[in-house]
Amino acid sequence: MQVFNPQYLGGGHNLKELVFVGLGLNDEKGVSIGGLEEAKSADYVFMELYTSLMPDFNLQRFEDSCGKQVKVVSRHELEEENGTAILRAAKKGKTVFLIPGDPFIATTHITLRIDAEKNGVKTRIVHGASIISAIISLSGLHNYKFGKTVTIPFPENFSATPYEVITQNKRSGLHTLCLLDLKASEKQFLSVNQAVALLIEVEQKKREAVVTLDTPAVGVARAGSKSPMLKADFVKGIIDFDFGEPPHSLIFPGNMHFMETEALIAFAGAPAEFRRLAR
Amino acid sequence: MQVFNPQYLGGGHNLKELVFVGLGLNDEKGVSIGGLEEAKSADYVFMELYTSLMPDFNLQRFEDSCGKQVKVVSRHELEEENGTAILRAAKKGKTVFLIPGDPFIATTHITLRIDAEKNGVKTRIVHGASIISAIISLSGLHNYKFGKTVTIPFPENFSATPYEVITQNKRSGLHTLCLLDLKASEKQFLSVNQAVALLIEVEQKKREAVVTLDTPAVGVARAGSKSPMLKADFVKGIIDFDFGEPPHSLIFPGNMHFMETEALIAFAGAPAEFRRLAR
């Protein structure tokens, strides 16, 4: 007869388990009740804070609320060393890996999850609020009318791709969510103003009237924080608008229902002329 | 000199404020720490549980954890009576309205938010995990490769629209997330099997080879719960597969990167032939 003896199990219950927990948005209170409980009951707790900016996140306060020491892992440890420290921990006991937003928007973490499963480590996910649904929620635009999402890179990596995605979505009447590139650890963030200027440059070459000074757009700053900022206007009213602190993002609406233009007027200070855009 | 006297303010601090709080997924632990704190400090707490299914949600446990009585509002009160009870409360004190997932996927709530702002009631949002990012996260498919999302309605409301959306996305190489219709209060849920059968019927009329028995698909059940079920296969292996309890959803992948086919093999039991689909 096999006797269960917790003494053999070291500090914890020694499940070979890796739980990916979304931190949600903005600060240490963005995590769900269930996600925090996973960290409280873990043997090892890791966290990354580089794939997305959590402007008001305080590590000490988080450690206090979960009662665990948290090991913050760098981009290098995850991408060059393939997260071996996390996998090694997961083979010893219950390991929680905390990730900004919802865990698998960043493809790096998908690789880690595949590696874990291939190594006989069970994985689970506790979801968190994602910046993507937050931006869409804030805007009042209808979720099912968004096409492909695109990231607008820094000028040194810029290409015509974002312009082409916006073009393609508009032809189908769809909205485009543009995430703006960031290097959270280097505190570099593309702004709405820079992003719009980059797209206007492409416009000047292509001349397809996709992003002109008269194109409607919605700039969003600090989605998920206590002070989100939204401004809907034609590009000429956005390009010099001060959105304040990062992170920023940008929406190019496609065809809008009148409830959507009303939402942009009520929530994002759109000019009344936006009513004429509704169909 | 104006003296602040809390006695004038009734029970609470009498902010004219309506805070929309996402409940996240599955149960009463899906809400964020910040979201629960909003409910704890509210004068009035409302909740709706009909726009999405939270399979393991227990109202009594939620009320115990926030220390407030929660008024559950029906579809009728929100859509026919325009949420007047909520607006009336928000004019008297801090009011929190709890909504499954992230608050503004359902357009009803956008209308309520517009009405509140027009009535001089300030609104805020505390985001929650959304079923949409949860399904995408679970699948391991890359978020930025999804096109327009579509809802597959019950047979009595079925049309060719979902088939056309899948067609359009596939032509652009994009994945399609299909949400399956539900009437949570009537406990009616479209299953993956029914949804696939409805699409095959359209295929038999249109014959565009968009959803055939040899089309790759991913069925997802109970995303966000402790027992999510994923099955990736060709449609012939999905159409009779038992996904168990609702809610269900369905993904039709477009062009897949090899990391995406590897993820479907590792997380969703896809057959090894899926490797041949990678490009």
Range B17-41 average pLDDT: 97
Residue B134 to residue B124: CA distance in whole angstroms: 23
CB contact under 8 A, B127 and A151: no
Global confidence as pTM: 0.91
Dump pLDDT digits (tens) for B211-263: 999 999 999 999 999 899 999 999 999 999 999 999 999 999 999 999 999 99
pLDDT interval class at B1 (50, 70, 90): very low
Q: Do B137 and A36 touch (CB under 8 A)?
A: no
Whether B6 has a pLDDT exceeding 60, the answer reads no
User: Which residues are paired to A221 by β-bridges?
Assistant: A229, A248
A28, A133, A174: residue with CB nearest B148 = A174
User: pLDDT value at position B166?
Assistant: 98
**Contact criterion met (CB < 8 Å) for B34 and A29:** yes
Integer CA distances (angstroms), A15 to A240, B119, B223, B227, in order: 54, 54, 23, 17
- CB–CB of A130 and B125 under 8 A? no
Residue A188, Cβ neighbours under 10 Å: how many?
Answer: 11
Whether residue B9 is predicted with pLDDT greater than 70 in this model: the reply is no
Compute, in degrees rounded to 10, the torsion defined by CA atoms B21, B27, B33, B36: 50
Which sign does the torsion angle of CA A25, A29, A35, A40 carry? positive
B254 interface with A at CB cutoff 8 Å:
no
Q: How many other CB atoms are found less than 10 A from the CB of residue A230? A: 21
Contact across the interface for A32 and B27, Cβ inside 8 Å: no
- In this prediction, residue A104 carries a pLDDT of 86
- Beta-carbon separation of B102 and A174 below 8 A: no
Q: Which residues pair with B65 in a beta bridge?
A: none
pLDDT at res. B7: 34
> How high is the pLDDT of residue A14?
53
Pairing of strands B176-180, B182-183: unpaired
What is the DSSP code (8-state) at residue B11?
Answer: T
Instruction: Please give the C-alpha separations between residue B213 and each of A28, B10, B231, B234, B274, in angstroms, as whole numbers.
Output: 47, 64, 15, 7, 15
Residue A1 is predicted with a pLDDT of: 32
- Residue A2 is predicted with a pLDDT of 35
Which residues does chain A have with pLDDT short of 70?
Answer: 1-15
Is B71 exposed, middle or buried, given 0-12, 13-18 or 19+ CB atoms closer than 10 A? middle
| A132 at interface of B, judged by CB pairs closer than 8 A | yes
Q: Which of B34, B65, B137 sits opposite A102 (nearest CB)?
A: B137
- Does A105 contact B36 at a Cβ distance shorter than 8 Å? no
Inter-chain residue contact A31 with B33, CB threshold 8 Å? yes
- Give the C-alpha separation, B83 to B75, whole Å: 9
ipTM metric? 0.91
Which residues of chain A have a CB within 8 Å of the CB of B30?
32-34, 127
Question: A120 touching B, CB under 8 A?
Answer: no
pLDDT digits (tens, 9 = 90+) for A170-216: 999 999 999 999 887 788 999 999 999 999 999 999 999 999 999 99
Query: What is the predicted pLDDT for the residue at A15?
Result: 66
Count how many pairs of residues, chain A against chain B, have C-beta atoms within 8 Å: 170
Q: Which residues of B touch A54 (CB under 8 A)?
A: none
Note the pLDDT of residue A171.
Answer: 94
The letter for the amino acid at A114 is: I
The residue of chain B with its CA nearest to that of A25 is B127
**Per-residue pLDDT for B12 more than 50?**
no
Q: Is residue B267 pLDDT above 60, yes or no?
A: yes
Contact between B225 and B56 under an 8 Å Cβ cutoff? The reply is yes
Contacts of B65 in chain A (CB under 8 A): 33
Find the residue in B nearest to A31 (Cα). B32
